[in-house]
Structure 1
Amino acid sequence: MSENTTVGTTTRRQLLARSGALGVSIAFAGNLTELFAGTAAAQSLGHTGYGPLVPDPKGLLDLPKGFRYQVLSREGDQLRSGEGPVPSNHDGMAALAGRNGRVHLVRNHENRNTAKLPVPTVAGLTYDPAGKGGCTALTLDSRGRVLSERVAVAGTAVNCAGGPTLWGTWLTCEETEDKAGTNGYTKDHGFIFEVDPANPHRSGAVPLTAMGRFQHEAIAVDPRNGIVYETEDAFQKPFGLFYRFLPDRPLGGLGSLRAGGRLQAMRVPGVPDLSSIQETGASFGNIEWVDVPDPLAAQTPIRLQDFGPKGITHAQKLEGCYWGGRCVYFVSSFARSAEGSAADHYGQIWRYDPSARRLTLVVVFGPDTDVQLPGESPDNICLAPSGGLMVCEDGNGAQHVYGVTRRGEVYAMARNAQNTGTAEEPEWGEFAGVAFSPDGQTMYVNCYAPGTTFAVTGPWRR
C-alpha cells in the first residue's frame, strides 16, 4: 500500500542555453533536502548559484565567472603509457584518493563493436580481444598535473557507468547482454569488472559473474554490510530491474567479490512498473527481494525470467545510483508510454531505506510549460561539496551539468560548447562521469563526444 505525504514543489528556474538559443530548464518536485542525508553540514548556494555561464572563447566548456578548466585528456591523443590513442565515448568516472595527495581518475569508455577508437588491448588486462570497451586510468599529482594515463581494463563492451568500492577500486559495468558469437564477440558480455586504478594488473580482467549478466548501468555499496545495489538500463520492454548483491565475503577488499554471493531483484508489492508512480513522497513498505533464478542468464535475460506468480518490478532507464546516509538512491532517467512504460516522466529519483525496507519517490523531474526545450533525462549524479548535487544532463539540445542546492534550486554549472553538428543544426554531446576530488576543490567531468575529460577549479563554496 502506498502512503502519500505532502511535499512542496521546489523553485523552478529557466536557464538559457546561450544568447539567441532556445531556453533550457529543469523543474523538480519533491523534498530535495533528504537527498543529502549523511553529507557534511553545508550551507546551500543562493538562488543564483555561481552566476551566469560565460561563453568559452576556445569553444570547449562554458563556466561561471571565476571558474576555469583544464583539459586532462582528449580522444585521439596518445595515452602517456604509449599503449595507443585515447579511446572514444568517455562515460562514467570516479576520483579516488591516492598516496601523497595524488588522485586516481578511472574512466569508462562506452564503446561498442563499431567504435573507431577502441580501448587498446594490453596483455593481462584484456577480457575479450573482440571487445572495444573498457577503462583508462589517469593519475594526477597534488597540483592536478597528469602523471600517467594508461589502460586499466580492455576487451569489455559498452562500459557505461559503475561505482567506487569502499577499498578504493572501481566497478565498471557492461551495458550489454551480447553473448559469445554475437557481434563478433568471443566471450559472453554483460558483467561487472573490478578495476584498481593505482595498479590495474592487480585487478586484471575478471568478470564478477555472480553479480549477474545483464545490461548493467551503475552500482552503490552499503558501507555497513557491503551489499552492492545495481541498476539495469534495459532498452526494450520489459524494462530493467533494481538489484542487490549479497557477497559471500562482504567488505573483503580487492578481489573479494569474486568469491560469489546471491543476486536478488526488488519487488514492490502491487507495483509492476515504477513509472506508474507520479506523486513525490509516495512511499512503499515491505519491499521484497527475490532471488534471481539464473544470474548468468544462460538462456533467458534476467528481466524475462520467472519470478513467480507475483512477478517483479520493472522501470525504464534505471541509471545513476549512489549511497547517501543510510539509504541508496537511484535514478530513472525517463519513461515513455509510447515505448512501453506505464506512464510518462522526465526523470525520477528513488530512495530505498534497507533498514525500514521502504522505497520512496523523492524527486520528479519535469519541464516548465513555457519553454520549447526543457532540460530532461538526468543521468550520472554525484554529491557536491556545497552540500547539493551535480547532475549530468543526457537529453536533447544544449547539454549541461546542473547543480541542485539543498533547497532544491537549480543552476547551470557547465555547458558543453563543442558543437559537433552545424551552425544551422547544432549538436552537443552529453556530460557524464561527474565527480569531485577527495578534497572537494576540483570537479572532474567527461564530455561523451568528442571524448574530453575536464578538471574544473574555482571558488567552490562549502
Structure 2
Amino acid sequence: MSTTRRQMLARTGAAGAGIAFSGALSELFAGSAFAAGTGYGDLIKDPNGLLDLPKGFKYKVLSREGEPMSSGEGPVPTNFDGMTTLRGRRGTRHLVRNHENRHNGKIRVPAVDGITYDPNGMGGCTSLHLDSRNNVLDEHTAIAGTAVNCAGGPSLWGTWLTCEENEDKAGTNGYTKDHGFIFEVHPTDTRKLGGAVPLTDMGRFQHEAIAIDPSNGVVYETEDAFQKPFGLFYRFLPKKPLGGMGSLQAGGKLQAMRVPGVPDLSSVQETGATFDNVEWVDVPDPLAKETPIRLQDFGAKGITHSQKLEGCYWGGRSVYFVASFAKSAEGSAADHYGQIWKYTPSSKRLTLVIVFGPDSDLQLPGEEPDNIALAPSGGLMVCEDGEGAQHVYGLSRGGEVYAMARNAQNIGTPEAPEWGEFAGVTFSPDGETMYVNCYNPGTTFAVTGPWKH
C-alpha cells in the first residue's frame, strides 16, 4: 500500500485496523494453552490525545521522555524502543527499555560509573521497577554508553540482551570504542554482570533482535542492515549454554543461515513455502575488523540475505523472525509488506508462515510489522512501523486481524499529521497488562482491561 493511501486513510479517520495477510496462523500458535482469541471492537478516540483503545481498556502513562528519573541520574532519555518484562520480588516486575539514541541524540542515557561502555555513546537502557498495580517504584539507568539500542530479547535467566543497531568503529561520529554489539543487562544493577561488557563473539553488526532456544541455549539473531546487501539471520552456539547470568561472556561460535538456491528471502512469496535443506555457515570474522559480516566471503554458495529483519521470538519448537518489508527499488529481489518466517532446528526446516498485504484488501491501513510478542489470547501483538497512522495490532489464532491500540500523539501538524511508531510490546507475567512504547515522543504505557485468556 502506498504511503499516500495510508496517510489519506489516517486523515479521513478510517477505522479499519490491522493488516491484510495470507498464511497459516495456526502454525504460529500450535500448542498454546490459551483460547483462540478475537478482537476487542473499534478503537475509541482518547480525549487526552495520547492512546486510542477499545471499549473497556484503559492506559496508564509510566514514563515520559524528559521527565526526571527517580534515581536522580537525569531526565528520561529519548527514542523508546525494544523492551521486556522481567519478574521481580514479591509480585513486582521490571521493565527494561532500550533507547535508540544515535551520536546526535536529543536526550542521552546518563553515563553512570560502572555501567557505561563508551562515554560518547548516547544510547543504552533504563529500567522501571513496578508493583503489581503498575505503580513506578523506581526508574534508573541500566546500561549506558552504547549506540542505537534497537531491540534485543530476554534471556532465560532474568536478564535482557540489548542490541546495538549500529556498526560504527572507534573514531567515527565521536565514538571512542567500536559499536555493533550485544550487551547483557541486569534489571537492578548491571554491575552484577561485570558492567557494560560487549558480547563480542555474538558478532559486530547492525543487530535487531534475539531469541533463545530453551532446550539448548542457542541464540538466534536478526540483522537490520539498511543497504544492499541486506542483513543475515544468525545463530550463536555458546560455549556455556544455559549457564545463567554472565555465561554468554564465555563466548562461542557465530554462524549465518544459508538457504541453498535462495540468496534473498524476499524472492519467496508463497505462504507455506518450505525449505528442508537449511545450512549454517561459520562467520569468517565475527568482529568485522575490516569487512562487515554481510559482505564477507561465505564461499562459492554465498549466503542468504533479507531486507529489514526485525522481531524475533521463540515459540514451541521453533524460532520465528520478521522481515518488516522488502522493496525492489531499494535492491530487494521482490516487494512485500512484511513476512513472518519459522525455523525449526530439529528438522532444519524453514517455512514462510505469513505474507502481509496489500493485495487482499487495500482498505486495511497496516503494514511493516516490527516488534512482536505473544498475547494472553495465544495470538500475537505486533508493533507497526510504517507511514501514516501507527497501531499495535493483534493477530488471533483464528485468523482475525484487529486493532489493539492507535497512537494519538500527533508530532506533525493538523494539516499533515504524523505519528511515532510503536515498539517494545510486552506483557506482565500474569498476562493482565500490556506494556508498549511510543518511540516519539518517548512514552511507556501500561494497558489493562478485559483481556481474553
Bin of the TM-score, shorter chain as denominator length = over 0.9
Q: Is the 8 A contact 2:84 2:426 kept in 1?
A: yes
Query: Are residues 1:43 and 2:35 paired?
Result: yes
Counterpart position of 2:4: none
Counterpart position of 1:218: 209
Q: Is the 8 A contact 2:18 2:366 kept in 1?
A: yes
1:128-157 CA-to-partner distances (Å, cap 9, x unmatched) read: 001000000000012211100000000000
Report the CA distance shift for 1:412/1:22 in structure 2 as closer, same or farther (over 3 A): closer
Counterpart position of 2:137: 147
1:347-383 CA-to-partner distances (Å, cap 9, x unmatched) read: 0000000000000000000125664773110000000
Two-structure CA RMSD over aligned residues (Å): 1.3
Question: Which residue, out of 65, 69, 76, partners 1:75?
Answer: 65
Counterpart position of 1:92: 82
Q: How many residues align?
A: 444
Report the CA distance shift for 1:17/1:458 in structure 2 as closer, same or farther (over 3 A): farther
CA distance in 1, matches of 2:325, 2:353: 15
Q: Is the 8 A contact 2:18 2:402 kept in 1?
A: no
Counterpart position of 1:357: 348
Report the CA distance shift for 1:54/1:24 in structure 2 as closer, same or farther (over 3 A): closer
Question: Which residue, out of 424, 428, 432, partners 1:437?
Answer: 428
Counterpart position of 1:191: 181
Aligned AA (2:45): P
Counterpart position of 1:131: 121
1:53-82 CA-to-partner distances (Å, cap 9, x unmatched) read: 110110000000110000000000001100
Counterpart position of 2:379: 388
Question: Which residue, out of 85, 89, 108, partners 1:118?
Answer: 108
Counterpart position of 2:221: 230
Per-residue deviation at 1:289?
0.3
Query: Are residues 1:33 and 2:20 paired?
Result: no
Q: Is the 8 A contact 1:162 1:219 kept in 2?
A: yes
1:25-52 CA-to-partner distances (Å, cap 9, x unmatched) read: 511100001111343x222234xx1111
Query: Are residues 1:278 and 2:290 paired?
Result: no
Question: Which residue, out of 163, 166, 184, partners 2:153?
Answer: 163
Which moved further from structure 2: 355-364 or 137-146?
A: 137-146
Per-residue deviation at 1:123?
0.2
Query: Are residues 1:312 and 2:312 paired?
Result: no
Counterpart position of 1:419: 410
Aligned AA (1:28): F
Give SS of 2:266's match: helix
Q: Is the 8 A contact 1:281 1:360 kept in 2?
A: yes
CA distance in 1, matches of 2:141, 2:18: 38
Per-residue deviation at 1:200?
2.4
Counterpart position of 2:286: 295
Question: Which residue, out of 56, 63, 66, partners 2:56?
Answer: 66
Aligned AA (1:33): S
Q: Which runs of no fewer than 5 residues in structure 1 stay unpaired?
A: 1-15
Give SS of 1:26's match: coil
Give SS of 2:28's match: helix
CA distance in 2, matches of 1:247, 1:369: 43
Aligned AA (2:448): T
CA distance in 1, matches of 2:228, 2:322: 18
1:409-444 CA-to-partner distances (Å, cap 9, x unmatched) read: 100000000000000000000000000000000000
Give SS of 1:360's match: strand
Aligned AA (2:345): P
Question: Which residue, out of 345, 348, 351, partners 2:336?
Answer: 345
CA distance in 2, matches of 1:324, 1:264: 21
Counterpart position of 1:10: none
TM-score w.r.t. length of structure 1: 0.94
Q: Is the 8 A contact 2:15 2:42 kept in 1?
A: no
Aligned AA (2:90): N
Query: Are residues 1:252 and 2:259 paired?
Result: no
Per-residue deviation at 1:199?
2.3
Counterpart position of 1:181: 171
Where in structure 1 do 4 or more consecutive aligned residues deviate above 4 Å?
Answer: 16-19, 21-25
Q: Is the 8 A contact 1:28 1:408 kept in 2?
A: no
TM-score w.r.t. length of structure 2: 0.96
Q: Is the 8 A contact 2:20 2:364 kept in 1?
A: no
Question: Which residue, out of 180, 191, 209, partners 2:200?
Answer: 209
CA distance in 2, matches of 1:271, 1:422: 44
Query: Are residues 1:452 and 2:443 paired?
Result: yes
Give SS of 1:275's match: helix
Counterpart position of 1:402: 393
CA distance in 1, matches of 2:202, 2:292: 14
CA distance in 2, matches of 1:53, 1:283: 37
Q: Is the 8 A contact 2:17 2:403 kept in 1?
A: no
CA distance in 1, matches of 2:367, 2:14: 17
